[in-house]
Structure 1
Amino acid sequence: MLAPPAANPALHDTLPDDQLMLAYVAGDTTAFDALYARHESALFRFVRRLLGLRLAAEVEEVFQETWMRIIAARESFSPQGASWRTWAFTIAHNLAMDRLRLSGREVAFYAHDEDGDGLEAARLFSRGLVGGGAAADAAHPSAEELAFWRAAGRRLLACLDELPDEQRSAFLLHHEEGFTVELMAKTLEINFETVRSRLRYGLKKLRACMDRYLSVLEFRS
């Protein structure tokens, strides 16, 4: 297992990802340490949500494989092709999708709230991605509001798990990682309209899956 290296914030905290990667390619291993520390959590969360509950036991392996692939392919990185973040998340996406294709389609469906993901996912509501108008991260939420949003977030994660793999990956890349439709089409080598369709149908299914919670939100407002 790849052990998390120690970052060097004094030298690298202010450098952009692309410059850190180029420094690492040139032989500065502490630049890689800074990249790992900066993106470890986001990449792990992305892999975990993309693989879903049915492949939860393989998340750590795919996450580590992603970083090993980043190391192995370091000479091929070019800022003119894509930003480091886009390049790295595309590697993680492709590895996770390969694992999903090999796994079959059996789905274990149940809600979970690993590492506080319920409240984190609930923020999608406050950004208007899945519906609803209340803010999940209000300054001083009551215990009742926290419980409500945690339950809604768990439901959203479970709904994500029900989406077809391609629609789930499109949703996560676009709404959580900030990939534009154009960027997804280019980096994943998928037709622009295909990406739009995956996003549209995925969001439609998520909204249908969340109907019960959305109706409660309307009742409470």
Structure 2
Amino acid sequence: MPDEDLMLAYAQGDAAAFDVLYARHEAALYRFVRRLLGTGLSAQADEVFQEAWLRIVTARHAFRAEGASWRAWAYTIAHNLAMDRLRVSGRELSVDVAEDGEDALDWLAAHVEQVAPSTEDQAFWRAAGAQLLHCLDALPAAQRAAFLLHHEDGATVEDLAQRLALPFETAKSRLRYALQKLRGCMGAYLAPLGAAR
């Protein structure tokens, strides 16, 4: 059953439909929130994640299937809560090594089309995953949000502009700047991999 139909069923009182939605999106939405907050606010990821689901539950009657997809709707709620938390914190972005090398490894491998690194490449990819999280953390929050919405949620530039309430060119610029900074940050690290191919 599509997410949108599940949400409509939940809005009509079908609690089991919500259970399916939650099970389907729990891990990905949590990763999204955690990456948006960065390692400096990772301790608050659980709270923001729970608040996102609470907002989804309380707004269940406001969801319209003819609008954005359920996933886009839910991720927009999570994005807005995370951005609010970043604004309130007023923190400068800190750069720490990721605590969960496995998660970083999986994410990096999926985005460089490396399905399963060989045993001898595990250390390299774990370190590369940590480096990528370091690079993501170093991005300004607005650029990190654009990058994560685009790459985690598959949002197009048009979707980014709509979901972030930005002019199209601003959304496009944020994504372009984020990609440039990530390429620069990761370029030196991944250069030996390119030379080996």
Superposition TM-score tier, normalisation by shorter sequence: over 0.9
The TM-score, its normalising length taken from structure 2, stands at 0.95
Native 8 Å contact 2:40 2:96 kept in 1: no
Question: Over the residues paired in the alignment, what is the CA RMSD in angstroms?
Answer: 1.4
Residue 28 of structure 1: how far off its partner (Å): 0.6
> How far apart, in 2, do the equivalents of 1:124 and 1:199 lie?
19
- Which residue of the other structure, out of 173, 190, 193, is the alignment partner of 1:214? 190
The TM-score, its normalising length taken from structure 1, stands at 0.85
> How far apart, in 2, do the equivalents of 1:107 and 1:186 lie?
26
> How far apart, in 2, do the equivalents of 1:79 and 1:188 lie?
20
Native 8 Å contact 1:121 1:157 kept in 2: no
Residue 117 of structure 1: how far off its partner (Å): 1.7
Structure 2: give runs of 5+ residues left out of the alignment.
none
Residue 178 (1) aligns with residue 154 (2): yes
Q: Deviations over 1:125-173 (max 9, x none)?
A: 524xxxxxxxx224xx432212111111110011000000010000001
> How far apart, in 2, do the equivalents of 1:48 and 1:116 lie?
15
- Which residue of the other structure, out of 23, 26, 29, is the alignment partner of 2:15? 29
State the partner residue of 2:145: 169
Alpha-carbon distance change, 191 to 115 in structure 1, aligned in 2, over 3 angstroms:
same
Residue 63 (1) aligns with residue 39 (2): no
State the partner residue of 1:132: none
> How far apart, in 2, do the equivalents of 1:106 and 1:126 lie?
29
Native 8 Å contact 1:182 1:192 kept in 2: yes
Residue 33 of structure 1: how far off its partner (Å): 0.7
Q: Which stretch shifts more, 144-153 or 31-40?
A: 144-153
- Which residue of the other structure, out of 88, 92, 103, is the alignment partner of 1:106? 92
Count, aligned residues: 197
Structure 1: give runs of 5+ residues left out of the alignment.
1-14, 128-135
Q: Identify, as 1 or 2, the structure richer in helix.
A: 2
Which protein has greater RCO, CA pairs closer than 8 Å, 6+ apart?
2
Alpha-carbon distance change, 137 to 100 in structure 1, aligned in 2, over 3 angstroms:
same
> How far apart, in 1, do the equivalents of 2:182 and 2:127 lie?
15
For 2:74, give the aligned amino acid.
A
State the SS of the aligned residue for 1:102.
helix
Residue 96 (1) aligns with residue 74 (2): no
For 2:161, give the aligned amino acid.
A
Superposition misfits of 4+ residues, deviation over 6 angstroms: none
Residue 88 of structure 1: how far off its partner (Å): 0.4
Q: Deviations over 1:176-204 (max 9, x none)?
A: 21011111111221111111100111110
> How far apart, in 1, do the equivalents of 2:24 and 2:187 lie?
36
> How far apart, in 2, do the equivalents of 1:126 and 1:172 lie?
15
Residue 109 of structure 1: how far off its partner (Å): 1.2
Q: How does 1:1-221 map to 2 (within 5 A)?
A: 15-114=1-100, 116-123=102-109, 125-127=111-113, 136-138=114-116, 141-221=117-197
